[in-house]
Structure 1
Amino acid sequence: MREKILFENEQHRNHLSKDLGALAGLLFEIGSNRMVIEKNALDFLNKEIEKIEKAKTRRRKEVKEDENEENTHSEMQYHLARLGNSLGYKVWIARNDHKREWNNQKLGEFSVKNLKTFNFPPTVADTIALIDVLWLGQDDKVIAGFEVEKSTSIYSGILRLTDLSLSIQGELCQFYLVAPEKREKEIKAQLLRPSIRSLDSQSISYLLFHDLRCDCDAMCKFGNDITILNKISRIV
């Protein structure tokens, strides 16, 4: 093979490099199937088709997972909104989620139309308006705040609740993260961060999807106020 390579390089030396670099590069392209020639054309095409099909399958899976996560997120907001209304509270659904649906009902149907932010700075007011669910008293003061977490950063939800907490210092308010069972360890780790533990203005509990889903009807029927959540909420 070496002799053949040297011979061919000599025959075409006006077009190839003296150190065999050009010819070696050509042979590498052919050997690694990166150059399509008659002998490997079919294999090359089959491999390309296989790559495309795998990419499509992966993308369909990702889209389905995203859709399932969005549906679950809406479901949890639906349960929290229904429970809040049954306990006699007004409910605020995150501003950008009013048109989402669960159980053939738009989430905005459970929500007050406008959130009174009591002269909060505009940036804080915008952040609070994006909290997934708020329970409000008849005086529009916040009773509880809920952040539903799925695949997004749990820390971002904690920060939104922290902004709310710091904005209503001195008022009694409960804060909750709502998340799937598989993220319970992550929730605990985040809530144990020194930067979170050092905040005297808040105490964040968490609710698991399974508990809220299974016990919502019973809490709607037998609950009188927010203390009904003590039955299923967990504290780190």
Structure 2
Amino acid sequence: MVKAIMSLPKEQWFEYINAKTRSQVRVKSAAGPEGPIYVERKNPTKKGGAISKATLSSPMIWRIANAYAPNVPINFDRVLAGSYNTRSLLEALLAHTPEFYWCVPGRIELLNNSSEIKRGHKHIVWMPESPHENGVLIESKFGSDQAISEIPTQAIIYDSLAITKTLLPVEMDIDVKRRHLQIQIALLEIGNQLGFRTWIAHNDKGFMYGKKRVGELDGVIAKLSDERVLASYEEAKVAANLIDCIWFKNGRLMPAVMEVEQSTGVTSGLTRMKKFQDLGPRLADIRWVIVAADEDRAEVIRKANTLQFQSLNAKYFSYSAVEELYSLCKRRNLSNKAVNEEFLDCFMEPCLPALELQ
């Protein structure tokens, strides 16, 4: 997306999609391949037509990028939940790039037992197989002929986490640790639904979640020595002690070994998993997984492809994918009777092939 926007004609002013909005925007520069993007905007109908500067942040760009699939219209306001006051600038610029079109798909409105298709809202659709001229705003007839039935957004609700500075390393921020623990809790809950026992890093078990310590929650393994699969691997148990999350199954299998990278660099998590791999049992079908924020995808894939970590054949499990699976488990009461372990692979991205395809 950033590359496409930066390929727009330089110094050209672009109109917003809404004809009633007279403001215009142009691209100035980008800090990197993932943004942020620096732009200028003006309203030529206002006296003086003053130009102001604005920034399209990397998190906003990533949220939009992660929402896209080919030929599926998305509404920026809905994806961004109305946040980011520069979302209309990103929308306008993206719609002028060759692979993106604007459209107004119908909206299926349900009233009692009947439905009616009404005029919907503005959407942007990605059509990589049908590029148009660069710098031109074009409506997609394909997208506008579609109709969308919107389901309610699924919210993830976490209990309170009691975190104090005395429990944290000096350099760690409380909000950073809170997010790290929330993702661990989501992984634990997913594991419970799928019939796994879950190891949580020893140094995270003392935090309070709701009215219990994390180490006292249902499904959490008290001691690694309780797992038969590691019984003969004393050094591996030591290496696994600080790994954020490990799923165990039937005392004989480890479906996934996961490092949550919210506060430390990707390399440290890969290093811990690599050491555990070298010292632990040679089991088939272990998933070595880096769990990280959506905007950290490129960094995860780059680091996972370095020679020293390639034996892990690591997978990337984005925060949004974790919470999507967590929500699905809770809403549909998924269990290991309903889905098999391969179902997990739908939510995880292999890192090694991803680099080859870029």
Question: Is 2:180–2:262's contact at 8 Å kept on the other side of the alignment?
Answer: yes
Give the length in aligned residue pairs.
Answer: 170
Percent identity of the aligned residues? 21
TM-score (norm: length of structure 1)? 0.65
Change in CA separation of 1:149 and 1:168 when aligned onto 2, cut-off 3 Å:
same
Change in CA separation of 1:209 and 1:64 when aligned onto 2, cut-off 3 Å:
farther
CA distance in 1, matches of 2:317, 2:210: 21
What RMSD in Å do the two structures reach over aligned CA positions? 2.2
Higher relative strand content? 2
Choose the corresponding residue for 1:222, options 331, 334, 357: 334
Question: What does residue 193 of structure 1 align with?
Answer: 306
Q: Which has the higher contact order (CA 8 A, sep 6+)?
A: 1
Larger Rg: 1
Q: Could you tell me which runs of 5 or more consecutive residues in structure 1 were left unpaired when the two chains were aligned.
A: 1-62
Which ranges of 4 or more aligned residues in structure 1 deviate by more than 4 Å? none
Question: Is 2:253–2:283's contact at 8 Å kept on the other side of the alignment?
Answer: no
Change in CA separation of 1:192 and 1:140 when aligned onto 2, cut-off 3 Å:
same
Is 1:182 matched up with 2:295?
yes
CA distance in 1, matches of 2:318, 2:209: 19
Q: Could you tell me which runs of 5 or more consecutive residues in structure 2 were left unpaired when the two chains were aligned.
A: 1-169, 352-358
Pairwise mapping of residues 53-132 of structure 1 onto structure 2 (< 5 A)?
66-108=173-215, 109=217, 110-116=219-225, 117-122=230-235, 124-132=236-244
Higher relative helix content? 1
TM-score (norm: length of structure 2)? 0.44
SS at 2:276's partner residue?
A: helix
Question: Is 1:219–1:228's contact at 8 Å kept on the other side of the alignment?
Answer: no
Deviation of 1:204 after TM superposition, in Å, equals 1.1
CA distance in 2, matches of 1:155, 1:210: 21
Deviation of 1:106 after TM superposition, in Å, equals 2.8
Question: What does residue 245 of structure 2 align with?
Answer: 133
Deviation of 1:219 after TM superposition, in Å, equals 3.3
SS at 1:222's partner residue?
A: coil
Question: What does residue 314 of structure 2 align with?
Answer: 204
SS at 2:189's partner residue?
A: helix
Question: Is 2:196–2:247's contact at 8 Å kept on the other side of the alignment?
Answer: yes
Question: What does residue 59 of structure 1 align with?
Answer: none
